[in-house]
Amino acid sequence: MDGIHDLGGKHGHGEVDYEAPGTVFHARWEATVFAMVNAGARAGAWNNFDRFRHAVERIDPVAYLVHGYYGRWLGGLETLLVEAGLITTAEIEQRLARVSQPRPSGHNERVAARPKARPDPMGPPPQMAGSQRGMANPPKFKVGDRVATATEVLGGHTRLPAYARGKAGVIAAVHGGWVYPDDNAHGRGENPCYLYTVTFDGVELWPGGDPLMTVSLDLFEPYLNHVAWPANDAQDAQELK
């Protein structure tokens, strides 16, 4: 899904804030949201993390940028609660009106939730703990293969970032079978597939980039296709294999 959450490779957002390890919550309300998200799963609002991540991706774009990490969680949870029929958007808005404080700027708090009028089906629960799954079929690619990523993705959740679409890279590792998020987020089942680490050079990802820089991404098999090595790189390809 192309949205405000897909910030990789984009300019203008400043430095990434570094926080010392050990900090979990900055305020009591963040711990409350954490507990609410887990309670929401038990109440039937969501049944897998891919579905929850996609709900967070779909919140109001401005809220996504300004509400902070657990603020995004709250917007995603509210979205799922409405879609599951457990609460209504009107109830969320009424609650916000009761607890929000007027601001001198005149800008009121915004409801982040953006539930679908026709939500995706909940789909089956996880088959087992974790996301790694056994595979009966062999992997399509092996270490050293040159591949190209898809240029487009279906509407909805995806783990293929926009900056890496339509780019050529090299398989650096094969990780076995994992739940496929693009299906699992939408209630279509786990449909496990192979996961690969693909390494790209900086010039391939960003024109004018550093040719000595490489970026490695973990990408699912449906995102990838074989492509031929350029003639001048054939020797390098053999060495990688």
Give CATH for domain 132-240.
2.30.30.50
Calculate Rg over the CA atoms of the chain: 21
Calpha distance 66→72 (Å, rounded)? 9
Nearest one of 219, 197, 205, 214 to 144, comparing CA atoms: 197
Give CATH for domain 1-115.
1.10.472.20
pLDDT value of residue 108: 54
Q: Where are the domains of the chain?
A: 1-115, 132-240
Split at pLDDT 50, 70, 90, the class of 194 is very high
State the pTM of this model.
0.86
Name the range with the highest mean pLDDT among 11-20, 136-145, 153-162, 202-211: 136-145
46-104 pLDDT, tens per residue? Answer: 999 999 999 999 999 999 988 999 999 999 999 999 999 999 999 998 988 888 766 55
The amino acid sitting at 131 is S
Calpha distance 151→160 (Å, rounded)? 10
Is the separation of the CB atoms in 43 and 36 below 8 Å? no
Residues ≥6 apart with Cβ < 8 Å to 133 = 127, 177, 178, 179, 190, 192
Tell me: pLDDT of 39 over 50. Answer: yes
β partners of residue 147: 169, 226
User: How many CA atoms, within 13 angstroms, populate the side-chain half-sphere of residue 168?
Assistant: 10
pLDDT value of residue 82: 97
